[in-house]
Each structure stands twice: as C-alpha cells, then as structure tokens.
Amino acid sequence: MKMHNFSALSIDSVAPDGNGGIISCKYCVTKEVVNGYQARGHRSQLAQLIYLVFEGMATPAHIFSGLKRPMKVGGNYHADRDFLVYCWLPERDCEFNIQTNNVQFLQVSMNQVFVTIVKPYTEPIRGVSGEIIRWSWVDEDNVLALAPVNYQDRYGKHMWNAKNA
C-alpha cells in the first residue's frame, strides 16, 4: 500500500462545540504519520485508517479531551491537555494480508472499541481543525458502553456522548 504525492489526507469529522454538542469539521492525517506507519511495516494500521478511521470519525460514540499522562510538545509543558480522543465501534475490523497483498475484513473482537487521538489546531489551517496522530483498538469499559476501559484514568473531560445527544 503506497501513498504518493500528498502532504495530508483530509477526513470529515465532528468536534465538541463547547456547549455539550458537536459541529462538523475536518481533520487530517499527515504524510509523516502515514510514512511512520509504513516505515514500521504497520500495513494493517494503514488499512484501518482507510476503512475504519475515514468511516468512523464523523459518528463517534464518545469524545474526551486531554490525556492523563504528562506530555511536552515544543515549549508546551501541558500538551497532554490539548488532545481529543474519539471512540466508536466500527461494524468491522481489517488487516493487511501480506500473503495476498490485500486487505482482509474481519469480525470485530468482543469487548473492544476503536480509538483515535487528535491534536487540534488552535486555529483551522485551510479548513482543517487538527491532526489525527494515532488510532487503535482498546478494551471496552465495563460501565460506560463504547468507551475505553478505565477512561476516567486515561482521559480528562468527557466532552460528548452520542447516547445523550
């Protein structure tokens, strides 16, 4: 799977509006993030980008703000507070099959949810509100459906819940 001649892939999404609702927005996945996954041989994650992230970012079950782990980015010693975390349950999973050189679709594993981490921009750049920097499957919480296990210990504020929308 090769992706040439792009600087970022644009993805339709939603973002918290600050009043408990959501608004439409666009995020991107930069060439550096895609190239990093390619360089590490993570072809299944690239398949997930195309088939799970592109399809799910506009309809998350939950959005959280802040990562509860210290992080410094540039001169910002509190960068962990700036991230958004999106969670949902896709209808399917996928992996890259190295023998056939194709994407194989799989049944979703029980008790797991899909999570993306977004670094929002302070101001939109050419209509893009932030960057998706990571995505993966995580175990589901036993209490809050479609949220990651121990979400209270992992993330800051619960910004939005589709069930309450």
pLDDT for the residue 3: 44
pLDDT (0 to 100) of residue 4: 43
**Residue spans of beta strands (DSSP E) within 44-98:** 62-67, 84-88, 93-97
Q: Where are the domains of the chain?
A: 8-164
Q: Is 48 exposed, middle or buried (0-12, 13-18, 19+ CB in 10 A)?
A: buried
pTM of the model: 0.89
Residue 1 has a pLDDT of 35
pLDDT score for 29: 95
- What's the pLDDT score for residue 99? 83
Average pLDDT for runs of 10 along the chain of length 165: 60 92 94 89 89 94 91 77 94 88 89 96 92 95 96 94 81
Cα gap 163→160, rounded to integer Å: 9
Nearest to 6, CA basis, from 33, 42, 43, 46: 33
CA distance 124 to 145: 32
